[in-house]
Amino acid sequence: MKLFFDPRELDHAPEQELHNGGFVPYAEHPGRARDMLDALGATEPPPDRGEAPILRVHDAAYIDFLKNAHARWTAAGRGGDAVGYTWPIARRRPLNLERIDAQLGLFSFDASTPITADTWDSVYWGAQAALAATHEVLDGASIAFALCRPPGHHAGADYLGGYCYINNVAVAAQAARDAGVEKVAILDIDYHHGNGTQDIFYDRDDILFVSIHADPVTDYPFYWGHADERGEGAGEGATLNLPLPRGTTLAEYEPALETAMEEIAAFGPDLLLVSFGADTFEEDPISQFKLKTEDYPALARRIAASGLPLVVVMEGGYATDALGRNVASFLSGF
């Protein structure tokens, strides 16, 4: 299995995040990628497919903002990383606001996803890694892995959040559609609901989104991921959310995965993309499921049993010393 990674993904390194009312060291740090690299062995850098595939799922104004936000923050006389502090609740109405603080609110949904001078470069190359893995499979490989960092599944067409800026799996899914793949399924097994991915494809019937995650009644991102969200318009029925309670172990996780895989089989996709987060691990510092390192191959085997071509895209996982081990354990099941 080929693993795709670009060293520029290491550059994005915010200093801190707002957590429960105080500032703490940033959980989504470059050491996560280093830990995975140590455990996984040789990776290859992705070719540069440009911005066009990114702009297929993200608004041009948002991408422009991402590229320039930190420079504008600095020009406003600020030090450190750019973070918003006020949000236009329910997008009150379209306004042409120039000030960086207004734009940060417009293009984000939380205060724990800072933009640094290096953010654009890292997220751009992470998206290229997802594209490389996708094209590897479109060219005939049965599976490929994209070591994307920062992660992507919380980012929507025009917003960042949850440590995510570009939605790597969404870019990959759309690239597959554009290459002629008719039906694409996305299985999201990060601990957190993939709100950005859901939003991007919510009204589409050509891309199925199925997610197993911590119940948003108790866990971030709260406002999405409830079981009654099933898609809208043409996409009605092409979204499936399977929320699980805190404390979930493999025994409770497996029936949800069975349901997810049956839904995917019924959809009849030509390609399956997996948003994989290792934050379902029992020792994850910000999450509350109880999966063990040795549980992950069973998940991979059930996914592989679909017989579908697979692209695995890295999402979260914050127990840094165990992260590489957990990802290697998951991939070993394929």
Positions annotated as catalytic residues are 154
The stretch near ligand Q9C (CB under 6 A) out of 8-16, 36-44, 69-77, 146-154 is 146-154
Per CB under 6 A, contacts with ligand Q9C among 262-321 are 277, 279, 315-316
Q: Work out how close the CB of 73 gets to ligand Q9C at its nearest, in angstroms, rounded to a whole number.
A: 20
> Contact 60/157 with Cβ under 8 angstroms?
no
Total site size for ligand Q9C, rule CB under 6 A? 16
Q: Work out how close the CB of 88 gets to Zn ion at its nearest, in angstroms, rounded to a whole number.
A: 26
112 in contact with ligand Q9C (CB under 6 A): yes
Contacting ligand Q9C (CB under 6 A), which of 57, 123, 164, 169? 164
Nearer to ligand Q9C, 163 or 253 (CB): 163
Alpha carbon distance 121, 139 (integer Å): 27
Question: In 3D, which of 256, 318, 315 has the Cα closest to residue 287?
Answer: 318
Rg over CA atoms, the chain? 18
Total site size for Zn ion, rule CB under 5 A? 6
My answer on whether omega of the bond before 221 falls inside 30° of 0, hence cis, is yes
Q: Work out how close the CB of 233 gets to ligand Q9C at its nearest, in angstroms, rounded to a whole number.
A: 27
**DSSP secondary structure, 50-113, as one string:** -SHHHHTTS-HHHHHHHHHHHHHHHHTT--S-B------TT--S-----SHHHHHHHTBS-SS-
> Contact 58/167 with Cβ under 8 angstroms?
yes
> Contact 333/298 with Cβ under 8 angstroms?
yes
158 in contact with Zn ion (CB under 5 A): no
Secondary structure E strands in 206-270: 207-214, 239-244
191 in contact with Zn ion (CB under 5 A): yes
Tally the C-alpha atoms within 13 A of residue 313's C-alpha that lie toward its C-beta.
Answer: 32
Residue 215 binding target from Zn ion, ligand Q9C, none, CB below 5 to 8 Å by type: none
Q: List helix spans (H) across the chain.
A: 30-40, 52-55, 60-75, 100-106, 119-138, 168-178, 195-201, 250-267, 296-304, 320-332
165 in contact with ligand Q9C (CB under 6 A): no
4 in contact with ligand Q9C (CB under 6 A): no
Nearer to ligand Q9C, 136 or 190 (CB): 190
126 in contact with ligand Q9C (CB under 6 A): no
190 in contact with ligand Q9C (CB under 6 A): yes
The stretch near ligand Q9C (CB under 6 A) out of 41-49, 64-72, 147-155, 239-247 is 147-155
Contacting ligand Q9C (CB under 6 A), which of 29, 72, 135, 192? 192
Alpha carbon distance 49, 132 (integer Å): 9
Enumerate binding residues for ligand Q9C (CB under 6 A): 17, 19, 112, 151, 153-154, 162-164, 190, 192, 220, 277, 279, 315-316
